[in-house]
Structure 1
């Protein structure tokens, strides 16, 4: 059974995907079908449009990113330590993240009293300027590949996975025996890179483009991915070139050029060893992975033809040990952002969540969440099928960014990201008798600067004067505020509600009562007045 898949992947420049409608998979390869792990393409020197192709509102199927959580992931960094190799554009503000570590400000005019506004910050390349942002992280720089790629690779570069043999440091899983006739070569086995027994038999754009740098690409007809050869995918992800921290010795311990002979595969096995290679398989039928009983060319152990592709022999398939605990893969989740304090059921879709080995042992995945500090939370599934897991994310998890993996024994998927946002809420916003507005709630965070546009408190779209600011109570003054108007708290996480109450009516003071002046004639009779008048006439 084959799946008909149409994908739109709008990449520009060196990283480009195409719209392909096909009923035919790449069977046999090259190129290898691009459903397991990250594509055999080049994520380097990308533009903003390239970033948005995956980190946009509608990422391609199987790409483990979701744009809705990107601002939240960045905002949750506030107050945490800035790690080495960070691309933070304004490190002068301190060793911990704050708003202005990332956001530049521009004055809105020449008057010193004018407001500032944020510089453009919805452009990934403003901060992520290196050839390959994905490989600038501290983990990537020390060779911790599994943290992003999952168990499709091995971490043979890490000290804890190495030992000394005959004075040479090697990964612990490196075979102690010499390569044999069935040991794969990276390429050029028997002088032919396109033949079985070479990694390039499958992992190449075409037989003609199997080796050498800058040989171009071919489009995988099943996924639409622009597939590059191994030389390009290993030289162009940001580790090489003029980079002072170039990692050439990871693949070229004896220097360049890389010798191609029977022993060459031992260097590759630092990262691509037997523990990973013998457990890579796509479930193209969706009903579970059965090693040796699948359609060929969808992985490494699905069919005897897959064994022959690597080993140029069917003997491996017949005598395989207990391998087949395949690497699971999460392609999507029903929720990427959850509010702190809420219990939410989340369904993970992908493949390889249930698998069986050649020996008949069954492995069933669980889900593990890991926060930035390394604290892990294992979630027991409510239900599991080969292509779906349902778990309940508990309400007690603190606000943080979590790596989410499906795990079967020592085999872990590449991670998805789950963001648990702080609970930010306004319980009430009341106009007081004196005209001030008291906003009560939770999660307001720290007070932002008053002179930055679109931060602070706005009432009916107009900025209010902040009189006091606490985590759960803000007091502002806003002229002519009225019940029913919208009040917005604009801090790290925004929240709004409707105003209630009203200011007391102004007190109109009555003017003082002025008594009329006393009448000097009051109390006298007319006879007295006439007598006085006659006297004055004398």
Structure 2
């Protein structure tokens, strides 16, 4: 496991989720990082970077803003040539002009692990931070040693976490100064989160360990099942990895507190879950199970419903795939993460929405009664509703009443054999009208 190259340092290298961002140079620098959000400043984001996390249920998450926040369809969609709804605005940053993430209550409370999982620590969670003075092998916040001929650094974060303004692909990687100052840009009250104000606003490794403790760092490795013993894919793959942080020191075995390597989610199989229905979901990623020092670790799936969580045992699991049955859930937005021992993945949002289903459509005189489910309790936009068509041509009609399971429509020219379509925020369904009235 030992190697003589002394180039490396802290690397937070996790699978780049559902977007195809190629790995940066291996070995680093720069390290291609992902803490649930690709490691760049928010101004450098494009839609692909947003969808690294927001890969599930994005349309319906926005549709829920209509009844809850007062939005209309045309706030996101253009009207088509015939007046119907056309394609939505696709670029997230057209509306999301500033990062919403670190304005969340959990971020303001410095409970970073709520979103980022065990890739980071919470300052008040009691995790181990050494109390002894720094020694020759204690990582520096920048570096301890530098080869003036090659420019390579070791013995600290900058051995890997350097800026790269011309990345192999994907967003620009910035240096630690820029990325950390963009957590709460312009908020001078947050300086003491990273800086030791007693020591003259200096950076000290013990202050860094408030969020980047020994255990979280020593359980970060991309795809441990295939990169164990390989340099440049994390903090613990090879002794060369150890030297980046600890300069000349090479570990003879696994690093202290290494065990349940932090799992990482790339993608979940369903764009949305249907309210009130059990759903079998496939989760892809890495580090879902592993063995370290003869100890076997495996994962569960955790659904976050706010202050409460539900833990689910997988139906099937490998290091890179989990199949799990998610029980019936009510309409809403939830979080999903993978947990292995006391290490957990970042949280992925999932959306549970109603499915529009027409069970029957019957005509009585000039009245069409549509029964089914998922209709919602009210209309929110004139572009939604019910249409009745004869041979592809829409007929003039009006809605008499509407609730979640029954819609009554007046149409003087409708007849059996015509097609009725119900369109709601969460989708549409069509059925053939039956009854005694014929054309």
Q: Does the TM-score normalized on the shorter chain lie above 0.5?
A: yes
Task: Name the counterpart of 2:243.
Answer: 308
Distance in 2 of aligned mates of 1:125 and 1:321: 42
Which one scores higher on RCO, CA 8 angstroms, separation ≥ 6? Answer: 2
1:140-183 CA deviation, whole Å, 9 max, x = no partner? 23222222222111111xxx52xxxxxxxxx6532221211111
Asked if 1:64 is matched to 2:7, the reply is: no
Task: Name the counterpart of 2:307.
Answer: 374
Asked if 1:259 is matched to 2:205, the reply is: no
Please state whether the residue corresponding to 1:363 is helix, strand or coil: strand
Alignment equivalent of 1:436, drawn from 343, 357, 367: 367
Judged with a 3 Å threshold, the aligned counterparts in structure 2 of structure 1 residues 319 and 332 are, in CA distance, closer, same or farther, namely closer
Judged with a 3 Å threshold, the aligned counterparts in structure 2 of structure 1 residues 125 and 361 are, in CA distance, closer, same or farther, namely same
Distance in 1 of aligned mates of 2:181 and 2:329: 40
Please state whether the residue corresponding to 1:228 is helix, strand or coil: coil
Q: Equivalences for 1:272-283 in 2 at 5 Å? A: 272-283=212-223
Q: Equivalences for 1:82-481 in 2 at 5 Å? A: 97-100=68-71, 124-125=92-93, 127-130=95-98, 132-156=99-123, 160-161=124-125, 172-189=127-144, 194-205=152-163, 217-219=165-167, 221=168, 224-237=170-183, 239-241=184-186, 247-254=190-197, 258-260=201-203, 264-283=204-223, 286-287=225-226, 290=228, 294-318=229-253, 320-357=255-292, 359-371=293-305, 373-394=306-327, 396-433=328-365, 435-448=366-379, 452-460=381-389, 461=394, 464-481=397-414
1:313 is displaced (CA, Å) by 3.2
1:60-96 CA deviation, whole Å, 9 max, x = no partner? xxx3332x611212334666xxxxxxxxxxxxxxxxx
Judged with a 3 Å threshold, the aligned counterparts in structure 2 of structure 1 residues 391 and 119 are, in CA distance, closer, same or farther, namely closer
Distance in 1 of aligned mates of 2:326 and 2:105: 28
Distance in 2 of aligned mates of 1:252 and 1:347: 42
CA RMSD of aligned residues (A): 3.7
Please state whether the residue corresponding to 1:428 is helix, strand or coil: strand
1:8 is displaced (CA, Å) by 12
Q: How many residues align?
A: 414
1:319 is displaced (CA, Å) by 7.9
Distance in 2 of aligned mates of 1:307 and 1:317: 10
1:257 is displaced (CA, Å) by 7.7
> CA contact under 8 A between 2:143 and 2:154: conserved in structure 1?
no
1:35 is displaced (CA, Å) by 6.7
Judged with a 3 Å threshold, the aligned counterparts in structure 2 of structure 1 residues 439 and 387 are, in CA distance, closer, same or farther, namely same
1:486-509 CA deviation, whole Å, 9 max, x = no partner? 323233323222242357589xxx
Judged with a 3 Å threshold, the aligned counterparts in structure 2 of structure 1 residues 7 and 71 are, in CA distance, closer, same or farther, namely closer
Judged with a 3 Å threshold, the aligned counterparts in structure 2 of structure 1 residues 382 and 496 are, in CA distance, closer, same or farther, namely closer
Distance in 1 of aligned mates of 2:76 and 2:103: 26
1:317 is displaced (CA, Å) by 4.3
1:120 is displaced (CA, Å) by 7.3
Please state whether the residue corresponding to 1:217 is helix, strand or coil: coil
Distance in 1 of aligned mates of 2:192 and 2:74: 37
So what's the TM-score if we normalise by structure 2? 0.81
Distance in 2 of aligned mates of 1:41 and 1:34: 9
1:309 is displaced (CA, Å) by 1.0
1:422-453 CA deviation, whole Å, 9 max, x = no partner? 243211112212x011111122212225xx43
Distance in 2 of aligned mates of 1:489 and 1:324: 53
Distance in 2 of aligned mates of 1:302 and 1:172: 23
> CA contact under 8 A between 1:240 and 1:246: conserved in structure 2?
no
1:137 is displaced (CA, Å) by 2.5
Please state whether the residue corresponding to 1:100 is helix, strand or coil: coil
Please state whether the residue corresponding to 2:216 is helix, strand or coil: helix
1:444-489 CA deviation, whole Å, 9 max, x = no partner? 212225xx43123222345632211222111111242233333232
Please state whether the residue corresponding to 1:364 is helix, strand or coil: strand
Structure 2 gaps of 5+ residues are: 1-14
Distance in 2 of aligned mates of 1:344 and 1:471: 22
Judged with a 3 Å threshold, the aligned counterparts in structure 2 of structure 1 residues 444 and 102 are, in CA distance, closer, same or farther, namely closer
Which structure: larger Rg?
Answer: 1
Please state whether the residue corresponding to 1:327 is helix, strand or coil: coil
